[in-house]
């Protein structure tokens, strides 16, 4: 709003485009003052109003100009801004649209986690968290023990939105706030100790018992022992009666009137050179500090005796330290234990030699085949690997023993050689199939749940991944044992440091072939099929649709898929041609090739849930050597994966095509309809046929009926 009250003879008020409202009212006051008030939505069009006062009398004429925002109303408190002959509505944070007519649903992206309720507010959303969770998006689990509600040294355990206290002896109550006073009156005499009896976590103890000091007996330790009949000698001592009482003959290692005292066998000077002395019965033992052993901890442990550095690197050297060691690796390995092969570095010179696999990299650099970008490296590696034999590619990937720590099915240990089959895929590397067609045992799912499935502890060893890989993990595929897997097959990627449960479901589809549909189980019906195993539509698409067309366009075949004998896989020089073909033919429907669906098809659905390892296994902390202990902890936190694969229920869904209207049903319905319309039955047909036969017979024999 703008106001002018100066006294003038002639006054002209001009408003700049950035401040002038689109609708303006101009009012004139008495003969001494001029007041100009502008109101309305802002606009970028200039507006001027002028008035002239003559002999103290204000004129009544007014000139006004209205911009394009005058005829346009922005809804929901939107602000109209005009430019040239156009307008734009500037909406607030809760509306959108040309005229701000649409209210934004702040909950549309489902920001609230943990199955919480999302409430759409003005310009923001609010999550109503279920019990046990907090945070703007309910992402945090509430630890009800953080406020330390349990008193008197009790242990607090929490679960979602509640907690429980495990009280120490002599305390009770939900928060262990109440002291049990039964023993406070010292009911046990002669130095006896009072102990509470009965009770549980819900009910406090209601009684007590007395444990008497040596030489006393009775419920309250009120009676002195005066004879050997009460077995007063402890720790195996022999009781000898005397005229007035008795005496105890103590075994070696004990003394005292009743042999109640264990003699401290640890002398003042510690006999344990590098440890602590523990008193035993008539003896002592030494608890050695880490790195030492022997009866008196006199021997330093040589951490290099087990050759920890040379499990893979035979050229490594081990330096023995106190409770740890250091590995000095050879030229082909690195890492704390010299287990990480540096073939990417050590063999780089060999790869770029004139006859090496990467000999064309330098020349291809001008053709955008540089290996400087991680994504380009991963794309180019498959073309480099195409020049290698299957044996060479297999040797570059992990073995089953390097990937799997242990494996069980239905709680029974797997046979790593008999129950797994392996193959090498150009894209995915070494793959291992459990329960394949070549397995020594045909596993059947007879029990649902985790106890009836496959469990494995697997290793990733992230330090052995080349630097251009984005993530480290293991990819699991779920398929019929007769079928091969493809990169696009149903799979779950499991990440290190987690326990992952995968629930699977099976379905089977049976299709009808000609003349009812177009399906096949015969690989011979398609022009080309380069995959092993039964016919699959994916294999056909990658064979006759993809490989044959890549061969026609590029003169070689895509190394991502099988290459038949007599054909050549594309090398790095042909990478751009293959990628251009993939970009130009992303939709297989445009390839003009015939790949029918299989008549028999088994599909799997898989869903996964995962959680981080809650604690490090005790085996790591049982390791005395600091280097190996840290390696164990690192391995579980970053390189171990616990996997459970099982059926939620033993139910397989089957979809089967059937004839909608078989020929026999057609004949049956035809006879029924004729009988219904004309009263014809099978008896009528027989009688009619018999009559025709008789007429023909008598006509042929000239006999009279």
DSSP for 261-319 reads EE---S-SS-S-TTEEEEE-SS-EEEEEPTTEESTTS-EE--TTTT-GGGTT-TT-EEE
Tell me which of 573, 598, 623 is where a domain ends: 598
**What are the phi and psi torsion angles at 699 (to 5°)?**
-65, -40
Kind and range of the H or E run holding 361? helix 361-364
288-294's contacts with Cβ under 8 Å and 24+ in sequence apart are 289/323, 290/323, 290/624, 290/625, 290/626, 291/322, 291/323, 291/324, 291/624
CB 169 within 8 A of CB 190: no
DSSP letter assigned to residue 691: H
356 and 407 part of one domain: no
**CATH classification at residue 364:** 2.10.25.10
Q: Is 333 inside any structural domain? A: yes
DSSP letter assigned to residue 375: H
361 and 411 part of one domain: no
Q: Is 157 inside any structural domain? A: no
503 and 612 part of one domain: yes
403 and 523 part of one domain: no
What residues of the chain score a pLDDT lower than 50?
Answer: 1-66, 343-352, 357-375, 467-469
Tokens 């008020």: give the residue.
Answer: 13
583 and 606 part of one domain: no
470 and 423 part of one domain: yes
Tell me which of 48, 64, 96 is where a domain ends: 96
Q: Is 125 inside any structural domain? A: no
Instruction: Give the predicted TM-score (pTM) of the model.
Output: 0.47
Of 643, 649, 653, 602, residue with least CA distance to 452 = 649
Q: Which residues contact 395 (CB under 8 A, 6 or more apart)?
A: none
Sign for the pseudo-dihedral over CA of 655, 659, 664, 670: positive
Q: Which pLDDT does position 71 carry in this prediction?
A: 65
**CATH classification at residue 431:** 2.60.470.10
Q: Is 145 inside any structural domain? A: no
Q: Which pLDDT does position 21 carry in this prediction?
A: 29
Tell me which of 49, 66, 96 is where a domain ends: 96
Q: Is 141 inside any structural domain? A: no
CA distances for 487 relative to 369, 420, 426, 490, 591, angstroms: 24, 20, 11, 9, 20
Q: Which pLDDT does position 703 carry in this prediction?
A: 64
Start-to-end CA span in the chain (Å): 123
Cα dihedral value 548, 550, 551, 557, nearest 10: -100
400 and 506 part of one domain: yes
Q: Which pLDDT does position 419 carry in this prediction?
A: 92
Q: Is 381 inside any structural domain? A: yes
Written as six digits, the tokens of 669 are 């319905």
**What are the phi and psi torsion angles at 553 (to 5°)?**
-85, -45
Q: How many domains is the chain partitioned into structurally?
A: 6
Three-state SS at 151: coil
608 and 471 part of one domain: yes
CA angle, corner 530, sides to 529 and 532, nearest 5? 100
CB 490 within 8 A of CB 567: no
Of 406, 428, 425, 402, residue with least CA distance to 415 = 406
pLDDT tens per residue, range 49-94: 333 332 333 333 333 344 567 666 788 888 888 765 677 888 887 8
| Residue 92: domain span | 10-96
Of 592, 488, 596, residue with least CA distance to 537 = 596
Q: Is 55 inside any structural domain? A: yes
592 and 445 part of one domain: no
Tokens 């082909």: give the residue.
Answer: 332
Written as six digits, the tokens of 346 are 């050590």
Q: Which residues contact 702 (CB under 8 A, 6 or more apart)?
A: none
* CA gap 540, 530 in Å, rounded: 8
* CA gap 685, 370 in Å, rounded: 86
Kind and range of the H or E run holding 594? none
541 and 591 part of one domain: yes
426 and 472 part of one domain: yes
Q: Which pLDDT does position 661 carry in this prediction?
A: 78
Q: Is 210 inside any structural domain? A: no
* CA gap 547, 544 in Å, rounded: 6
* CA gap 55, 388 in Å, rounded: 105
684 and 649 part of one domain: no
Q: Which pLDDT does position 509 carry in this prediction?
A: 93
* CA gap 95, 107 in Å, rounded: 14
The partner residues of 38 in beta bridges, in order of sequence, read: 24
Tokens 């103890």: give the residue.
Answer: 205
């Amino acid at each position: 709003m703008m106001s002018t009250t100066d006294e003038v003879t002639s006054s002209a008020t001009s408003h700049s485009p950035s401040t002038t409202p689109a609708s303006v009212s101009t009012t004139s006051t008495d003969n001494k003052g001029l007041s100009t008030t502008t109101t309305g939505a802002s606009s970028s069009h200039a507006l001027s109003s002028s008035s002239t006062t003559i002999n103290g009398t204000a004129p009544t004429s007014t000139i006004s100009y209205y911009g394009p925002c005058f005829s346009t109303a922005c809804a929901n408190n939107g602000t109209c801004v005009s430019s040239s002959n156009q307008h734009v509505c500037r909406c607030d944070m809760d509306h959108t649209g040309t005229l701000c007519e649409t209210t934004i649903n702040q909950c549309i992206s489902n920001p609230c986690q943990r199955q919480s309720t999302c409430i759409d507010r003005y310009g923001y959303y609010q999550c109503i968290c279920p019990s046990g969770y907090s945070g703007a998006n309910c992402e945090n689990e509430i630890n009800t023990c953080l406020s330390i509600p349990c008193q008197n040294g009790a242990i607090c355990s929490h679960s979602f939105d509640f907690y429980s206290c495990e009280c120490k002896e002599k305390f009770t109550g939900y928060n262990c706030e109440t002291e049990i006073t039964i023993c406070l009156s010292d009911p046990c005499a002669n130095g006896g100790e009072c102990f509470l009896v009965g009770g549980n976590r819900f009910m406090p103890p209601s009684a007590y018992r007395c444990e008497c000091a040596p030489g006393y007996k009775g419920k309250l330790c009120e009676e002195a022992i005066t004879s050997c009949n009460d077995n007063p000698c402890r720790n195996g001592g022999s009781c000898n009666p005397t005229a007035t009482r008795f005496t105890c003959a103590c075994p070696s290692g004990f003394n005292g009137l009743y042999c109640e005292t264990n003699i401290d066998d640890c002398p003042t000077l510690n006999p344990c050179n590098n440890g602590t002395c523990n008193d035993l019965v008539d003896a002592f033992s030494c608890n050695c500090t880490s790195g030492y052993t022997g009866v008196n901890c006199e021997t330093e442990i040589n951490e290099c005796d087990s050759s920890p550095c040379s499990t893979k690197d035979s050229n490594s050297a081990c330096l023995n330290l106190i409770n740890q060691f250091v590995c000095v690796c050879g030229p082909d390995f690195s890492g704390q234990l010299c287990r990480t092969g540096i073939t990417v570095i050590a063999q780089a010179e060999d790869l770029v030699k004139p006859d090496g696999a990467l000999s064309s990299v330098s020349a291809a650099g001008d053709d955008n085949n540089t290996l400087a970008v991680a994504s380009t490296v991963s794309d180019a590696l498959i073309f480099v690997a195409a020049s290698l034999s299957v044996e060479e590619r297999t040797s570059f990937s992990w073995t089953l023993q390097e990937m799997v720590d242990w494996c069980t099915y239905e709680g029974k240990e797997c046979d790593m050689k008999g129950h797994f089959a392996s193959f090498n895929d150009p894209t995915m590397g070494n793959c291992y199939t459990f329960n394949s067609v070549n397995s020594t045992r045909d596993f059947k799912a007879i029990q649902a749940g985790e106890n009836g499935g496959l469990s494995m502890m697997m290793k990733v060893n992230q330090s052995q991944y080349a630097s251009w890989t984005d993530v480290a993990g293991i990819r699991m595929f779920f398929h019929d044992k007769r079928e091969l897997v493809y990169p696009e097959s149903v799979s779950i990627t499991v990440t290190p440091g987690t326990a992952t449960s995968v629930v699977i479901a099976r379905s089977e589809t049976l299709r009808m072939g000609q003349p009812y549909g177009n399906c096949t189980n015969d690989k011979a019906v398609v022009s080309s099929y380069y995959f092993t195993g039964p016919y699959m539509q994916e294999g056909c698409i990658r064979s006759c649709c993809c490989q044959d067309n890549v061969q026609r366009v590029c003169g070689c075949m895509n190394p991502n898929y099988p290459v038949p004998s007599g054909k050549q896989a594309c090398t790095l020089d042909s990478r751009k041609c293959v990628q251009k073909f993939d970009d130009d033919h992303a939709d297989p429907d445009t390839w003009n090739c015939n790949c029918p669906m299989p008549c028999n098809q088994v599909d799997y659905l898989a869903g996964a849930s995962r959680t981080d390892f809650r604690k490090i296994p005790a085996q790591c902390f049982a390791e005395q050597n600091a280097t190996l202990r840290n390696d164990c902890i690192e391995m579980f936190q970053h390189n171990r994966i616990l996997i459970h694969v099982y059926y939620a229920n033993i139910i397989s869904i089957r979809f089967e095509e059937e004839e909608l209207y078989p020929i026999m049903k057609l004949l049956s319905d035809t006879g029924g309809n004729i009988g219904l319309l004309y009263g014809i039955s099978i008896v009528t047909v027989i009688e009619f046929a018999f009559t025709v036969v008789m007429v023909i017979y008598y006509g042929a024999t000239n006999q009279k009926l």
